Structure 1
Amino acid sequence: MRYFEDFEIGRVDRFGAYPVQREEVIDFASKFDPQPFHLDDDAAAASPIFGRLAASGWHTCSMVMRMLTDEWMEDGHFSLGGTGVDELRWTRPVYPGDVLSVESEVLSKSVPRSRPSMGFINFRLTVLNQDGDIVMTMKVTNIQPLRAAV
């Protein structure tokens, strides 16, 4: 199990290999982001931005969350949750056939006086496709238990 104390500022972890599936792109979009360029090849081809069927940015966030939880659960990471996302940027389209991975960097840590049993860890997440192109970035704050409090 990893605790607040186990995360070092500047630590960088790389993980994940999530294959983006056409069926998932369309299924997610039909439920949560039904814009034509996420649902239809012809509409996507006519888009000056995408040129072909592209995943919703929110779907990309969901794929990243899956990779995070898979990595952290495998590694014994225990999280108490998160406080939110800052500076979310979709920098390139994500297409069916892409394979996504994540680079996670610890930016800062703090323990609130009001809750000395937990700490906040700020991460920068960089999401890359199979060519090493950055497709999404964001900063997240994760809540971790302190070893001394357990």
Structure 2
Amino acid sequence: MLYLEDLKVGDRFVSREYEMGIDEIKQFANAYDPQEFHTDEEKAEKHPIFKGLAASGWHTAAVTMRLWTECFPVAYGLIGSESSLRWPRPTRPGDKLHAEVEIVAITPSKSKNDRGIVSYVTQALNQNGDVLFMSTTKIVVFSKTFKAE
């Protein structure tokens, strides 16, 4: 587990790879984002932007979350306080995603000396190095002096 004292600006973490399967893409989309360019290959081919089946951006975000929780083991979990998201390119069936996380700022709490806010940039990249998802996130990270009650 990582604590506030273990982290510094510039630290990088890289996840394992995860392949996005066509059945999983359609299943997620049918449950949470039922748009034709996520669920129907024929109709997706005719879409003016996607020109083929694309995973929901929320699916890409969810897989990225899974990957970064595995490679960025912060004590007491990734407790988000703020995030901004971008999807520069669609995720396609067969894409092999991995997440890369880089710490860009660490701000100690002004009111509680046992924690701070860690800001980091996460990118999900495919097998070609294309960025499919990007987020800038702030999380609460506890120090080793934190006492859970």
5+ residue gaps, structure 1, are none
Residue of 77, 91, 94 corresponding to 1:94: 91
Tell me which residue corresponds to 1:128. 125
After superposition, the CA RMSD in angstroms is 1.3
Find the residue that maps to 1:148 and give its secondary structure: coil
By percentage of residues, which structure has more helix?
Answer: 1
Comparing 105-114 and 57-66, the one that deviates more: 105-114
Provide TM-score, normalisation by structure 2: 0.92
Question: 2:13·2:71 contact (CA, 8 Å) conserved in 1?
Answer: no
Tell me which residue corresponds to 1:139. 136
Question: 1:80·1:145 contact (CA, 8 Å) conserved in 2?
Answer: no
Q: Letter of the 1:140 partner, please give it.
A: T
Find the residue that maps to 1:82 and give its secondary structure: strand
Distance of aligned partners of 1:17 and 1:80 in 2 relative to their CA distance in 1, 3 Å threshold = closer
Q: Aligned pair count?
A: 146
Percent of aligned pairs with the same residue?
A: 34
Cα deviation, residue 23, structure 1: 1.2
Tell me which residue corresponds to 1:27. 27
Cα deviation, residue 10, structure 1: 1.1
* Equivalent residue runs for 1:64-75 within 5 Å: 64-73=64-73
Tell me which residue corresponds to 1:83. 81
Provide TM-score, normalisation by structure 1: 0.91
5+ residue gaps, structure 2, are none
